[in-house]
Structure 1
């Protein structure tokens, strides 16, 4: 029996397959209250300090909505499929302005099976503007080479456009699907209606009460801060040097799936990061990315308890299992723009590496021993 099946049976015996729908909806309500309450403070306050506080609180609430919706997008909030889909439509297109169907395609269908696989996972490919790999730097020439070597000077400011980039990329994807009868489904229509609802609720209606310029200004600040919030929540799992970048093994994705060791693929390219109580509340499981990548259908509520079993399994079977401090992981996610990572051609050799000790695992170069760097 496959090791994941064995662990899954243990998780089922402990009742961790049950969806804590009430708790997750309560958390969503808290984040929603924080997001809207912060905006209300900005709308009616005449004190600058309160305005700043309101914007920050609203950003925290919006981050919580994005990570809570992330759980719903994996159908882990409720046993009812339609509830998960409705919550995804609410959280992403209606509230945050991000296409739900694009998220299901980019994140669920592609990223999860092939995390950090260059050529398959777009989350690891920031070309043509930025690069995270030494291969791209080595292949670049002239001004392009100079830019890649100095990209770190502007990356902090570029993150401000992170959320906007997700929005516009999702809109382009959705428009392409809507225009193609062979790709268009009811889901794309629902997605488009929710995006129209987002523009109406966040821009059109408020403009009648507060004027278009103040509304646009506040919306712009919100998008910028959300870009930073998304980065510090999602980048630490795959950007730091400890999370390996892999080259696709074969020209077709099916060939890659056939050859890959699924557990090794997930654990060698994915990291956890430590948070406290409030961090876990706002991250909603993205801080336990190893557990999430191996068992995405489980609610994030159970990840801390699952982690003890999974870490022991990895230690006993030679799979990497790395956990960084949150701010350490954020810092390393920025450093990779200064010191890009190599792309390794295959998984062979990674499984034999033993998990480093807690003090050593933050470097863990031995996990990549025996791999040949692609120039």
Structure 2
């Protein structure tokens, strides 16, 4: 039996496969309350200090909604599939203005099976504006080469558009699916309705009470700060130099997934980072990315307990298992724009692929989704 299946059996025996739905909904309610309460404080306050506090609280609440919804998008919040999907529609398109179907395609079906595989993982491809690979810099010429060598000066400002870029990319993806009858599904329709609801709830209706300029201004500040928050929560798992970049070796996504050593790929390209109690609350598992990438069907509530066993397993089996400090990981995520990472020509040569019949259910689900988008 494959080692990953043995680990899965041990986790099941400890009850960690159960969905702690009540706790996750309580956490989501807290994040929503903070996000809306912060906005209310800005609206009602008559002090710039209270305005700043309100924006900060709202940003942290919105980040919590994002990471909590990330768990739901992997069907890890509830046992019923429709509950997870409904929560994903609420968190991403309705609350944050980010397409749920785009997230499922980009993150679940594309990123998770092939993280940091150049040419397959869109999250590692920042072209044409930026790059974090040595290959792109070496192949660039003239003004483009000069820009890549100095891009690090612009990154602190570019991150401000992080959330906006996700929103725009999601809308473009969704519109393309809706216009193409061969791709259009009910999920895309539900996604579009939720996005329209986001516009109505966050922009149109408030504009009647506070004026369009004030509403647009507050919304813009919210999106900018959310862009920074998302970066410090999600970038540390795959951007630092310790998280390897790998060449696709001319393979398609489905072929690469089938032939790769699943454990070695995930642990070589993924990092954890340390947070305290509040950090764990707002990160909702993205600080335990190794556990999440190997067992995406498990709730983030169990990751701290799983990490002790998984770390020992990796040390015994010769797999990498790296944990950085949070701000160390954020800093190293910025440094790669100054010193881009090499692309390793080959990585999957150690333990062999995970047999589909023995892989945990969540891994098999990812494989099925790969086949659908390959």
TM-score by length of 2: 0.93
Equivalent position SS for 2:273 = strand
Using CA pairs under 8 Å that are at least 6 residues apart, name the structure with larger relative contact order, 1 or 2. Answer: 2
For residues 56 and 350 of structure 1, do their structure 2 counterparts lie closer, same or farther at Cα, with a shift above 3 Å needed? Answer: farther
Between the aligned partners of 1:349 and 1:151, the Cα distance in structure 2 is 34
Range with bigger deviation, 241-250 or 90-99: 241-250
* Contact 2:261–2:350 (Cα < 8 Å) also in 1: no
- Paired residue for 1:233? 233
The answer to whether the aligner puts 1:302 opposite 2:302 as a matched pair is yes
Find out whether 1:183 has 2:209 as its counterpart: no
Please give the alpha-carbon distance, in whole angstroms, between the structure 2 residues aligned to 1:281 and 1:220. Answer: 25
Q: Which runs of 5+ in 1 are unaligned?
A: 352-375
Any residues of structure 2 matched to 1:162-181 within 5 Å, and which? Answer: 162-181=162-181
Alignment-derived partner of residue 120 in structure 1: 120
Contact 1:247 1:343 survives alignment (8 Å):
yes
User: 1:58 is paired with a residue of what secondary structure?
Assistant: helix
Aligned position for 1:50? 50
SS in 1 for 2:290: helix
Aligned twin of 1:37:
37
CA RMSD after TM alignment: 1.1
Q: Alpha-carbon deviations, 1:13-42, whole Å to 9, x = none?
A: 000011000000000000000000000000
Conserved in 1, the CA contact under 8 Å of 2:274 and 2:323?
yes
Cα distance in 2, alignment partners of residues 45 and 202 from structure 1: 19
| Aligned match of 2:286 | 286
Aligned length: 352
Tell me the CA shift for residue 349 of structure 1.
6.1
Superposition deviation, residue 254 in structure 1: 2.8
Work out the CA distance in 2 between the residues paired with 1:257 and 1:47: 54
Aligned to 2:334: 334
Q: Which residue of 2 aligns with 1:110?
A: 110
**Equivalent in the alignment of 1:362:** none
Paired residues of 1:319 and 1:350 also in contact (CA < 8 A):
no
Q: What are the equivalent positions in structure 2 for 1:236-315 lying under 5 Å apart?
A: 236-315=236-315
Task: Give secondary structure in 1 for the equivalent of 2:174.
Answer: helix
In structure 1, the partner of 2:130 is 130
Superposed displacement of residue 345, structure 1: 1.2
User: How far apart are the structure 1 equivalents of 2:259 and 2:80?
Assistant: 34
Distance, in Å, in 1 between the alignment partners of 2:21 and 2:249 is 39
**Deviation beyond 6 Å, 4+ runs, structure 1:** none
Q: Over residues 86-111 of structure 1, what are the superposed CA-to-partner deviations in whole Å (9 max), with x where a residue is unaligned?
A: 00000000000000000000000010
Matched residue, 1:358: none
CA contact (8 A) 1:118 1:124 kept: yes
| Equivalent residues of 2:99, 2:174 under 8 A apart | yes
Offset at 1:255? 2.4
Structure 1 residue 256, shift from structure 2 partner: 1.3
Which residue is 1:99 aligned to?
A: 99
